Amino acid sequence: MALKIFLGDKLVDEADAKVSVFDHGLLYGDGVFEGIRVYSGRVFLHQQHIDRLYESAKAIRLVIPMSPGDLKAAVEATVKANKIEDGYVRLVVTRGAGSLGLDIRKTSHPQVIVIADTISLYPPETYTKGMQLVTASTIRNHPGALSSRIKSLNYLNNILARIEGTDAGMVEALMLNHKGEVAECTGDNIFIVKNKVLLTPGLDAGILEGITRNAVMGLAIEAGYEVRETSLTRHDLYIADEMFLTGTAAEVVAVVGLDGRKIGTGEPGPITKDLLVRFQKLTRSVN
């Protein structure tokens, strides 16, 4: 069945969802986006994603041509129109069409695009057996050049690192920052467990402040676990008792090996398993 896409200010058929070839989102990756999960027909942590989108847009001086409330309603309408029960929303705002060149003053009509569809998840055995990672040689963008907290349409930094992971036979890759510290993976945030304490890079490490990351941190604190945001090196990861990733698609997934080294016992650890169960309960009970 063809999808209904929200484009501009209305729902249109998938075949009619078109933007100008002069849109700076296409020409220069000039725009912002959010990826949001839908569980049982409900948009998960919807307001947090809307807030982050507007913050990203503000950071690049992009004015979204809709109020947050209207945009939230547009997402809900797109999910309903496509009868999505368990799926994914891609919410995009481009700079709009303009002349060839970088001057944002010569652009107009930013485009709002909402796509709601099913999602390809990691296979079930990934959650029972865990995944392997490799460290990419491509480092995370220097925060002085482009803040990782801006979820921009230009994802080439992440893509190049993911290519390295794919070449190594992995579905994800670890990225370090310009200081050689652990930042995040190409599409997920990273945590380790050491002596029953959860450790994760802070925002100053050059990471995206993940919505799922924050939700899992909250669940961990509620469960009585100590959680610390701190600088981490690969050495810290190599000697960790457990390691896991968090992300919109990944949810909570164990990492059992990094760079050919076994992490912990080489199997998903008890705290990782516990947090996955807690997160799955959350997604069935919270908007």
CATH number for the domain including 97? 3.30.470.10
- Phi/psi of residue 119, each to 5°? -135, 140
Residues 102 and 222 occupy one common structural domain: no
The pLDDT value recorded for residue 162 is 97
Which of 117, 146, 173 delimits the end of a domain?
Answer: 117
- Phi/psi of residue 253, each to 5°? -130, 135
- Identify the domain containing residue 249 by its residue range: 124-283
Query: How many domains does the chain fold into?
Result: 2
Query: Average pLDDT per run of 10 along the chain, which is 287 residues long?
Result: 93 96 97 96 96 98 97 98 96 97 96 94 89 98 93 96 97 97 97 98 95 97 98 98 95 97 97 97 74
Retrieve residue 35's tokens: 């990826």
The pLDDT value recorded for residue 287 is 47
CA–CA–CA angle 268, 193, 229 (5° rounding): 135
Task: Please report, for the domain that includes residue 277, its CATH number.
Answer: 3.20.10.10
Residues 242 and 175 occupy one common structural domain: yes
Residues 109 and 213 occupy one common structural domain: no
Instruction: Give the active site residues.
Output: 151
Given a contact cutoff of 8 angstroms between Cβ atoms, the answer to whether 255 and 267 are in contact is: no
Which of 117, 152, 186 delimits the end of a domain?
Answer: 117
The pLDDT value recorded for residue 285 is 65
What number of CA atoms fall less than 13 Å from residue 106's CA on the CB side?
A: 7
State how far the alpha carbon of 139 is from the alpha carbons of 107, 114, 133, 206, 215, in Å: 32, 31, 15, 10, 26
Residue at 40: amino acid letter? S
Residues 113 and 215 occupy one common structural domain: no
Residues 219 and 193 occupy one common structural domain: yes
Residues 96 and 30 occupy one common structural domain: yes
Residues 197 and 113 occupy one common structural domain: no
Residues 143 and 247 occupy one common structural domain: yes
Residues 241 and 152 occupy one common structural domain: yes
Which of 83, 117, 151 delimits the end of a domain?
Answer: 117
Residues 109 and 146 occupy one common structural domain: no
**Cα–Cα distance measured from residue 82 to residue 13, given in angstroms and rounded to the nearest whole number:** 11
**Residue 111 burial by Cβ neighbours in a 10 Å radius (0-12, 13-18, 19+):** buried
State how far the alpha carbon of 42 is from the alpha carbons of 88, 123, 211, in Å: 11, 23, 16
**What global pTM score does this model have?**
0.94
Residues 128 and 270 occupy one common structural domain: yes
Residues 136 and 263 occupy one common structural domain: yes
- Phi/psi of residue 53, each to 5°? -60, -45
